[in-house]
Amino acid sequence: MLDDTSSAVPYAEDANSDVLRRPPRREFKARGSFVERCEGCNLPTLNCLCPFRVEAQSRAQVWLLTHPLEHHKPTNTGRLIGDVLPATEVFTWYRTAPDARLLSLLADPRYAPFVIFPDDQPDYAERVVGMDAVVRSGQEDKIPVFIIIDGTWRQARRIFRKSPYLDALPVLPLRTQRQTRYRLRKPASQAHLCTAEVAIELLRQAGDIDAAEILDDYFDAFNDSYASSRIYHKIEQPTAAMHRLLSRQRREAASTAE
């Protein structure tokens, strides 16, 4: 569900600070911080991901509630969702200052938001729903929204517990047999999916098959590009996922030209 990385850098929670109105600016200090990166995809320019970007449309939307430390991690997969699904919303989480736009959207009757979180604690059991609730919301002419908490597991649990505006929302646990294919860190379990993989499986189960397949291919292209760049290897021939994305681009270009 979440990118299992961590950082000890502090972040601001002052409600009067300008930093709350945009993702915090923080120089990336870690191994690879001096690598030349593409400004578009944030990957090393050796294997830029931009040529393989394909946008998709979906009935369901994804809203990311992102821990402030995640914005500057180049291995964060949440940004892949926004690359593929242009309707994606990204909100930075601060404990003492909820995002005003998020609060406004949560109150908008056009949307049916669901918080994606495990159903492993009894105190919110009455809020737990299944994918059938998502399907019903679409049948009622509402736009289903998957609110994915983007951060480490520890950060995610804190965000879930410390965000009162989420307390009235239904909780949707992701049930899937998928094993993670995320290769940029070692998960505690193969069942622990990264943020993009969670979105892929939610879209697929909600019936947005085409969007799920495009995001899945884009995720694989990201995985391969980043992993190769770590060993300073340039991918000379597109991978199978890259070929599929390029084929979609050609089909869309041909359709537009007609």
CA gap 23, 68 in Å, rounded: 7
Check residue 72 and give its pLDDT. Answer: 80
pLDDT cut 90: percent of the chain above it: 73
| Domain span holding position 205 | 56-178+187-211
- Whether residue 200 is contained in a domain is answered as yes
Chain centre to alpha carbon of residue 226: 17
- Whether residue 47 is contained in a domain is answered as no
Domain count, the chain: 1
In this prediction the pTM is: 0.86
- Whether residue 78 is contained in a domain is answered as yes
- Whether residue 48 is contained in a domain is answered as no
Q: pLDDT digits over 177-195, tens only?
A: 998 988 776 666 677 899 9
Q: pLDDT digits over 53-97, tens only?
A: 999 999 999 999 999 998 888 889 999 999 999 999 999 999 899
Residues 6 or more apart whose CB falls under 8 angstroms from that of 181 comprise: 197, 219, 220, 223
- Whether residue 65 is contained in a domain is answered as yes
Torsion on CA atoms 70, 76, 79, 80, rounded to nearest 10: -170
Is pLDDT at 121 greater than 70 in this prediction? yes
Residue 61 and residue 89 in contact, taking contact as beta carbons nearer than 8 Å: yes
Helix 195-206 with 209-230: angle, nearest 10 deg = 160
- Whether residue 79 is contained in a domain is answered as yes
Distances (CA, A) of 188 to 140, 176, 205: 39, 17, 25
Bigger pLDDT: 136 or 74?
Answer: 136
| Pick from 115, 129, 104: nearest CA to 169 | 115
What is the chain's length? 258
- Whether residue 15 is contained in a domain is answered as no
The domain spanning residue 165 has which CATH number? 3.40.1280
| Residue 35 pLDDT class (50, 70, 90 cuts) | confident
- Whether residue 174 is contained in a domain is answered as yes
